[in-house]
Amino acid sequence: MRTQIDLESEQHALVKRKAADLGISMAEYIRRLVERDLAQAVPGSDISAIFGIGDSGGSDIAVDRKGATAEAIATRASRR
């Protein structure tokens, strides 16, 4: 299958040079990059799995942040 991509001038020059250094065509170089990237992908990974990490449903410091801050300052001051 054929696919056309647009590269910035600098990208094109770097890809062309890298492919030449490897002794392969630009197309082969890009195919290898795509293959490597796809091989590293974790199938079925869902970023939403990280939402709620640390959410025990317990305390919510934001509810009484002023009180919690005052308590922390008082505790620290009493240690001095």
The domain spans of the chain are 9-40
Alpha-carbon span 58 to 45, nearest angstrom: 28
**Tell me, what's the pLDDT at 48?**
72
Instruction: Please give the pLDDT value at position 74.
Output: 87
Residue where the block lists tokens 């449903």:
57
Which is it for the CA torsion 38, 40, 43, 49, positive or negative? Answer: negative
The pLDDT score that the predictor gives to residue 68 is 80
What's the pLDDT at 54? Answer: 65
- Tens digit of each residue's pLDDT (9 = 90 or more) over 29-79: 999 999 999 988 776 666 676 776 666 666 666 677 788 888 888 888 887
pTM above 0.95, yes or no: no
CA distance 62 to 21: 57
- Give the tokens for residue 23: 């002794």
